[in-house]
Amino acid sequence: MTDALQPDAAAQGSDRRLRVGVIGLGWAGQQHVAAYAADPTVDLAALSAMEDHLLAQFGDLHDVPGRYQDWQQMIAEAELDAVSIATPTFLHAPMAIAALEAGLHVITEKPMAENAESAARMVEAANRAGRVLDVSFNHRQRGDVTALKQVVDSGVLGTLYYAKTGWIRRQGIPGLGTWFTKAKSSGGGAMMDIGIHMLDMALHLMGEPEVTAASASTHAEFGPLGRGGSGFGISQVEEGVPFEVEDLATAFLRLEGGGTLLLESSWAQWIPHDLCYVTLYGADGGATIEWGGPDGPSITVWTEVAGMPAVLEPVVGEDGRHAAAVAGFLHKVRSDSWAEHNGALALRRAEVIDACYASAKAGAEVAIGA
């Protein structure tokens, strides 16, 4: 590790460039690599991946000096300040904890970990090390999400008491027979993979109310038959590897103060096209964002102006996605408030997902944080 900026030095705007690395060069890892490479305040100093061709491809593309198949060797030798972790879910906790204990700041891809227990150990490690722990919820960086958050914060909708959110795919079970569909390595199916994005967006838009209880149900109707992967026909599933997770999950979530949130997620379903949405119901107005259909993204607000019903169409800026998530992480690293960014919010998301799975297994509502 280099002589990392201390919070007070960071707050004073130190000119030293941060040395960063990326572990995992799948699609998500490639987004982190591109974000760092485009940032003039950092040096992309090291990459780690099992695939030689990806190390060569992205190492050459961005002139990265450190290239490692062994991520532990990278952490020990590359003299980094911060690292992105974009690997299978079950590896997030051991990698993040090792990096934090080595004095590095860490951002992982979502979900934070395969369960809340592992996520809690990550937060504990961040607190012990006094380093930033962040999780990349890149979809909250969408332009329409940002615009709707501004609407909510303006008070136009009044008190929010009910919301619905979901991500339903026409087809799209990732990696049939791979770690994605094995319970131990992924922690869960559609809810863990894409439902957590919608949970994060909805709670973010609603002002972070605490979830107090979950009542959920899960189903696996496509994956066990080899359906819903790369097309709606039967896919080749690795022999002897069962489909261990759900391909559809629904949840009724109770919120502090009496509010409620409905959450649904599915990797494959008999619908005409993918659908992602968040709908908010307030005392003074309602709003919805939706994307995935043939008409493209939309955002609409219904309220009343001067006693007359009104439909508002907020101006939507560009999507930030992974680049914005990485930029936010770097801003936290350069701030004077590392202790405030210890992964606690992402841990709360993990606790909700755990409660949903526990509820589905028990067939009963499960309290959270009781």
Q: Does pTM top 0.75 for this prediction? A: yes
DSSP 3-state assignment of 216? Answer: strand
Give the C-alpha separation, 168 to 358, whole Å.
Answer: 22
- The pLDDT, as a whole number, for residue 3 is 59
- The fold adopted by the segment(s) 7-139+323-336 is Rossmann fold (3.40.50)
The gap from C-alpha 221 to its chain's centroid, in whole angstroms, comes to 25
Question: Do the bridges between strand 66-68 and strand 42-48 make them parallel or antiparallel, or are there none, so unpaired?
Answer: parallel
Give the DSSP H or E segment for 299: strand 298-305
Give the other-Cβ count within 10 Å of 266's Cβ.
29
Give the C-alpha separation, 20 to 42, whole Å.
Answer: 7
Short-list 115, 108, 337, 344, CA closest to 210: 344
Residue 257 has which token pair? 């103060």
Class at the top of the CATH hierarchy for domain 143-318+352-367: alpha beta
DSSP 3-state assignment of 261? Answer: strand
In what side-by-side order are the strands of the sheet with 366-367?
308-312, 298-305, 286-291, 275-282, 160-168, 260-266, 248-255, 211-219, 366-367
Give the C-alpha separation, 56 to 174, whole Å.
Answer: 25
- Given a contact cutoff of 8 angstroms between Cβ atoms, the answer to whether 281 and 158 are in contact is no
Give the other-Cβ count within 10 Å of 35's Cβ.
24
Residue 60 has which token pair? 């050459």
Residue 320 identity: G
- The pLDDT, as a whole number, for residue 220 is 96
Residue 90 has which token pair? 């079950």
- The pLDDT, as a whole number, for residue 352 is 98
Give the side-chain half-sphere CA count within 13 A for 246. Answer: 23
Apex 156 CA angle, 152 and 161, nearest 5: 65
- Sequence-separated (6 or more) residues with CB below 8 Å from residue 348: 210, 211
- Domain-wise residue ranges, the chain: 7-139+323-336, 143-318+352-367
Phi, psi of 342 (to 5 degrees): -110, 15
Give the other-Cβ count within 10 Å of 55's Cβ.
19
370 residues of the chain, pLDDT tens digit each: 565 566 544 433 456 899 999 999 999 999 999 999 999 999 999 999 999 999 999 999 999 999 999 999 999 999 999 999 999 999 999 999 999 999 999 999 999 999 999 999 999 999 999 999 999 999 999 999 999 999 999 999 999 999 999 999 999 998 777 888 889 999 999 999 999 999 999 999 999 999 999 999 999 999 998 888 855 444 555 555 678 999 999 999 999 999 999 999 999 999 999 999 999 999 999 999 999 988 889 999 999 999 999 999 999 999 998 999 999 999 999 998 999 999 999 999 999 999 999 999 999 999 998 6
DSSP state of 215: E
- The pLDDT, as a whole number, for residue 234 is 45
Which residues pair with residue 323 across a beta bridge? none
- Given a contact cutoff of 8 angstroms between Cβ atoms, the answer to whether 241 and 176 are in contact is no
Short-list 330, 334, 331, CA closest to 13: 334
Give the C-alpha separation, 292 to 294, whole Å.
Answer: 7
- Given a contact cutoff of 8 angstroms between Cβ atoms, the answer to whether 42 and 19 are in contact is yes
